[in-house]
Amino acid sequence: MLWLGIRCLDLPLAALAADPAPDYPLAVVERQRICACNAAAAAAGVAAAQPVASALALCPALDTLPRDPRREMTALAALGMACHNFTPRVALRPPAALLLEIGGSLKLFGGPDAIFAKLRAMLDLHHLPAALGAAGSPAAALLLTHADRDPLDYLDRHGGIRRQAFAELLDGLPLGALDCPQALRETLAQAGLRTLGALFELPGKTLGRRYGRDLLQYLQRIQGRRPDPQPPLVLPPEFRHTLEFGLGVEAAEMLLFPARRLLQELGGYLRARQLCCGSLHWRLTLEDGTVTELPLRLSHPRSDLQHLLELTRLGFAGLLLPAPVTALGLDCRDLHPPASPQPDLLVALGPAADVHTLQTLCDRLGARLGPEAIRRPLACDEHLPERAGILAPSGPAGHSEPTLPQAQRPLWLLESPQPLMVHDCQPCLAGNPLVLESGPERIEGDWWRTPASRDYYQARSSHGRRCWVYWDRRSGAWFLHGLFG
């Protein structure tokens, strides 16, 4: 088991700053002290834990924002949702950390080098600088985020821990990194203890008697000698997230970068819940307060990020924005379990028929032309053939389709049945008598409005054309209803 700790370094600032990299000095304030600041403020001498008055004296142009723990928790949960792309075991450690069990994912991603590279790319996409730490226990992984070392320095190429390098790094950590009350850390410092290694050398009974059982159990969890279960991140029943921008976005193409971030969070959400989405619903909040909605419907439920991003790009390409966009939101309520492969009519076309490619084409056409431009044939629960099929909007079926009849049906059904002439009690097509080859198949229906009672036959003309005809039992007339291929 290998746990990865992720500690977000500037979460208070990232949760509030709509612009990820403002060029003006900006800081977050809590209880009249600086909580976090950006690079421009740090260059002017502003630092964390500094009084606001001192910070303003150093940087009069400093812009301050009050800390918002609720938005920090929302940003941390969104990051945790995106982390489900790498592992199903994700736990939040407020106020600014996450834990991921990645031991079972190393082989899938090709080793620790590959998975760390993808994780760092995800953090860059969220504009969150973070420190990483890896260990066999969750508590040690979080502690090592304070070591200022790359986890690859003490992991081998298979994800195993190099014990000597790991032990030296863990023993050298300052006690200020411990997740315990500040008063306890000060007490330990007064006793002359400076590093975690010095604390490990003391007898356990002495530690428990002098500093409490909680510290002893915490050290045992760090060393992996005590169970440390982590409560998993609880996902909502539906996906809904919004990103706000500092400056209005005037071009729809510029929305693709934040859209990719939202889709990555959606991908982690879908993977964690083992679901697929049948549609995307984008919400663009304009500078004047109005909301432009862009629904994108899929022909079949999907969950792959690249396909969803391509549909979003095509949908955004057709947008005309009357005002700059100040917020971008994504809703996904149309969720479906992954469908097992089912027989399809298109498979009968031969091995060259790629159903997945055709579905992708339908999705792209729908995103470009609008969802109503793509239709698909759908069977209805009706007895009369002319009402047994409709052209429905492309998208996941909202109900189970009825069982199809066992009798053979023509490929071409006339829009309305055509009357046939009768000669010597035989129906005729274009003056030529038809030979009834099979039948009858009796179909009755619509007894509550216009009752119908028909006997259907497969017939063949003198020219060899196969037809689908019926005899109306109520009127005694013959009709042509379809042609076989």
Q: What average pLDDT does this structure show over 397-408? A: 61
Give 330's Cβ-side CA count (13 Å radius).
24
Give 470's Cβ-side CA count (13 Å radius).
25
Q: What average pLDDT does this structure show over 339-365? A: 60
Is residue 417 within 8 A of residue 479, CB to CB? The reply is yes
Residue with tokens 């027989």: 343
The amino acid occupying position 80 is G
Q: What is the pTM assigned to this prediction?
A: 0.73
Closest CA to 120 of 151, 144, 159, 146: 151
Return the axis-axis angle of helices 256-273 and 305-317, rounded to nearest 10°. Answer: 140
The Cα–Cα gap between 245 and 146 comes to 31
- Residue 321 is predicted with a pLDDT of 87
322 Cα distance to chain centroid: 29
Q: What average pLDDT does this structure show over 388-401? A: 63
Q: Does domain 241-397 have CATH number 3.30.1490.100?
A: yes
pLDDT band at 352 (very low <50, low <70, confident <90, very high): very low
Taking the alpha carbons at both ends of the chain, their separation in whole angstroms is: 62
pLDDT at position 320 over 70? yes
Q: What is the dihedral of CA 116, 117, 122, 123, to 10 degrees?
A: 70
- Residue 272 is predicted with a pLDDT of 93
Average pLDDT over the chain reads 87
pLDDT band at 253 (very low <50, low <70, confident <90, very high): confident
pLDDT at position 350 over 60? no
- Residue 353 is predicted with a pLDDT of 46
Domain regions of the chain by residue span: 3-222, 241-397, 412-483
Q: What average pLDDT does this structure show over 241-262? A: 87
Q: What average pLDDT does this structure show over 324-333? A: 93
pLDDT at position 366 over 90? no
The Cα–Cα gap between 259 and 309 comes to 8
pLDDT band at 120 (very low <50, low <70, confident <90, very high): very high
DSSP letters spanning 313-349: HHHHHT---SS-EEEEEEEE--EEPPPPP---GGGGG
- Secondary structure (3-state) at 125: helix
pLDDT at position 270 over 90? yes
